[in-house]
Chain A
Amino acid sequence: MRDFVSGLSSIVANIGAVALFLFRILGQVPQALLRFRLVVHQVHNAGALSLVIVMTCGLFVGMVLGLQGYDLLQRFGSESSLGTGAALALAKELGPVITALLFAGRAGTSLASEIGLMRATDQLVAMEIMAVDPFRRVVAPRFIGGVIAMPLLTMIFIAIGIFGVQLIGVQQLGVDQGTFWSQMRGSVDVDDIMQGLIKGVVFGIACSLIAVYEGYTAEPTAEGVGRATTRTVVNSAVLILILDYMITAVML
């Protein structure tokens, strides 16, 4: 029982630390944005370098969705709804969540280990001694880069995914092209896309925050950085799915 309470209180303390960390970052965001070059560099790191993995996975998720969706709908004679079903699934759930998980794995770990290594080699301390706030110079630009990159990656994933559905559904399995698109257009609202976009932004904030936090607070040893990287992925994944439920429940 005592272990449970102390475990619980350490989780709560952790959440508090992360929240304080976030406020500190937000305080530095305006100035960090003035260093536009830095931010651009980080958007490149977090976003452009994740493009290949996001597009590849988006294509294959779309294709699988096409296959599974067709197989399922065919049992009810509703193959023509493939476009609708797949587009909605991608835009509202699969797109944001899978992109976020991929992001945490690729960009999140990169951020965490970069910052963790700077911590382990005293670079962050050296910066502080040189009277440069590492939050402004290192942490905030990376956070902003992640927050900007995530929604964009999500949109790309969804778009490529729908293309993948179309590739299988229309080209391969014979769903009528016109039916595919018109059914989709008939049932998908701008609201649905917005849901996906909002989730993308929220997940971007969550994943970037966790990544920079774990990196910044990593123990300055080799194992410390490794553990921080692992924690980034695990905590990001859990938080993404929890937030996904909460946002979906609110927006539905």
Chain B
Amino acid sequence: MQKGPSSNPMTDNLVEIRDVYYSVGGRDIFKGLTLTVPRGKITAIMGPSGTGKTTLLRLITGQIQPTSGQVLVDGKEVSKLSRRDLYALRQRLGMLFQNGALLTDMTVFENVAFPLREHTDLPEELINHLVLTKLQTVGLRGAAKLMPHELSGGMARRVALARAMVRDPELLIYDEPFAGLDPISMGVVLRLLRKVNDALGITSMVVSHDVDEIAQVADISYILSGGKVVASGSPQALKADQSELVKQFMNGLPDGPVPFHYPAADYHSQLLS
């Protein structure tokens, strides 16, 4: 597997989105979206609510197909893969869901062991070793026997991270990993994000709108709005960006290109009628 700035420019980007259009239920979600996720780095996808950040992840994992355009993962077009190849591709990536999505009828240990048990024939001692190692990385080795409903939100998310990592994927995708976390848990997740990415030499994609948190770890960020990329670059570059939309987003201004008011009739005439 090629790492870092490789000799083969074709596979320099693990994920490539080329001019993707996607609409569902009459609504256009993506109108010519183009972005790349470089290997070995942490890429952040940001944007106001409803711009389809989660939809983008579903396009990458092959859950949905673009109306037009290409979604390439490691050079392969996802929408053209057979079911078996798609499943093979999915085994090379790990995804951290917003609410953890742990299987509720199993212990923490069993949850992390799940991908190993389903896809490999490893002996029990080896599974034990791998699972405990991953749990140790996220700091939850002592919680191995707990059930998911006994965990706090932050702990559940860490277990989900351990599970996503257990087969040493090439791409780790985080869907809103900071949502609803207290500052301490947030700090933990941030630290893990960076540590895991660098220590394992993998590529990470983070979908989030926690601007300040993201800025601490992302190597490159994209801001999506109106179905396309409106700004991209390092967090510092974006902070200095002067365009209205980027400024509103990065500084959390209530009104601007993304309006405060939901479209409505004229205020005076509605009050007086």
Contact = CB atoms under 8 A, between A and B. Distances in A.
Contacts, number: 47
Interface string A52-76: 0000000000000000000000000
A61 to B, nearest CB: 34
Contacts of A123: 101-104
A125 B62 CA distance: 12
Contact of B61 (A121, A127, A129, A132): A129
Interface in B93-129: 93, 95, 97-99, 101-104, 114-115, 118-119
A159 B88 CA distance: 51
A128 B61 CA distance: 9
Contacts of B63: 125, 128-129
Contacts of B91: 130-131
A125 B57 CA distance: 12
B90 interface: yes
B97 A132 contact: no
Contacts of A132: 114-115, 118-119
Contacts of A137: 118
Interface size range of chain A in the complex: 10 to 19
A122 interface: yes
A120 to B, nearest CB: 10
A232 to B, nearest CB: 20
B90 A129 contact: yes
A121 B104 contact: yes
Interface in A72-101: none
Contacts of A127: 103
Interface string A107-133: 000000000011001110111111111
A117 B103 CA distance: 11
A122 B87 contact: no
B99 A122 contact: yes
Nearest to B160: A126
A122 to B, nearest CB: 4
Contacts of A128: 63, 90
Contacts of A117: 104
Interface of A: 117-118, 121-123, 125-133, 137
